[in-house]
Structure 1
């Protein structure tokens, strides 16, 4: 998984509450198990008409925000079904950070499994960041995970809180597989000892089998 340390990029304002996972990536695009290719369908029903024409006034279709890497949104972002395709679609589009007053728990945790930093800040801070993001191509924010700060285009800085373990995971690019591989030596040692103490057991086969 790609590490997250410092991100400087254009922030797109999406001041809507209760943006659910079906809005982020509609159900008809869930057939794939690949993490790539979903970015073009991000917010599909808000970005395109029924015939596939872009809706010009949707934020990610505006020239200034087509390469946005930060999203500033409203309360309860990522609610609805627990589809991991939602962070996949955000990541594939290029969104590495979502800032909102609150997130649905499953979506929040899925972000950390896919290299996306979800940041919870107060509603007052979101309003300030939405105002910053409204500046178009000049809406550049810098998110520093190590320092836990967000710096606005005018140089002002906001602090945010994050669980230390989740912070460690993102800083080191550790998804669930990566966390397991940190204990590869212990796992190999266990397998070796088991082979010596119970040679009749094949690796990966339980006694019940």
Structure 2
């Protein structure tokens, strides 16, 4: 049975290339081991800088309330491996991140926290940004089962996603769940090892 988790909704755009996890969650917020209470710290320094200039960061705009989709630029989530950045992303309410490319560890951390990462070719990424610039209230819809990203009436883009990632996102499975699917083979291997190397057991 598929997990009832919504990977679609209103979008927030974070512009810029090579946005790293240090920017997403500065080091002073890494002391906690709780995965909640981090939403206010998400992009803390950038949001504070906007506030000091008298401007509004995209995450603090009214339409960001309840948004589920975050759109970033090339190499989004690069930098350190801090999973706290993904915890803050999830605590803010995001379930989907879209970018032309991602930091590899960030992408894995997202999947481990049931957040989908969607890679878009640069031209289709630009098309999506333009659609949202024209109408910020448009919703972005991710159909994980059929590998399609939609926005508005005319934007429907086939996406590629690792089969293992897609299965985990659809069914809410973690790495232990995926390992336990091979339990018969594991038990068969252990049984053979007990026979062959009985002195180890």
For normalisation by structure 2, the TM-score amounts to 0.84
Whether 2:61 is the aligned partner of 1:74: answer no
Whether 2:130 is the aligned partner of 1:131: answer yes
CA RMSD of aligned residues (A): 3.0
Q: In the TM superposition, what whole-angstrom CA distance separates every residue of 1:50-89 from its partner, at most 9, and x where no partner exists?
A: 9x87964210111112221101111000010011111111
CA contact (8 A) 1:4 1:115 kept: no
| CA 12–5 in structure 1, closer or farther in 2 if over 3 Å, else same | same
Runs of 4+ in 1 over 3 A off after TM superposition: 2-6, 52-56, 180-195
| CA 73–49 in structure 1, closer or farther in 2 if over 3 Å, else same | closer
- Supply the distance in 1 between the matched residues of 2:169 and 2:54 (Cα, whole angstroms): 34
User: 1:10 Cα deviation (Å)?
Assistant: 0.3
CA contact (8 A) 2:12 2:67 kept: yes
Q: Number of aligned pairs?
A: 198
For normalisation by structure 1, the TM-score amounts to 0.81
- Supply the distance in 2 between the matched residues of 1:66 and 1:113 (Cα, whole angstroms): 24
| CA 78–49 in structure 1, closer or farther in 2 if over 3 Å, else same | same
User: 1:170 Cα deviation (Å)?
Assistant: 1.1
User: 1:139 Cα deviation (Å)?
Assistant: 2.4
Q: Which residue of 1 aligns with 2:46?
A: 46
Whether 2:94 is the aligned partner of 1:84: answer no
Q: In the TM superposition, what whole-angstrom CA distance separates every residue of 1:149-187 from its partner, at most 9, and x where no partner exists?
A: 111123421111111121111111111232234456777
CA contact (8 A) 2:7 2:116 kept: no
User: 1:129 Cα deviation (Å)?
Assistant: 1.2
Structure 1 gaps of 5+ residues are 202-209
Question: Counterparts of 1:102-141 in structure 2 under 5 Å?
Answer: 102-134=101-133, 135-136=135-136, 138-141=137-140
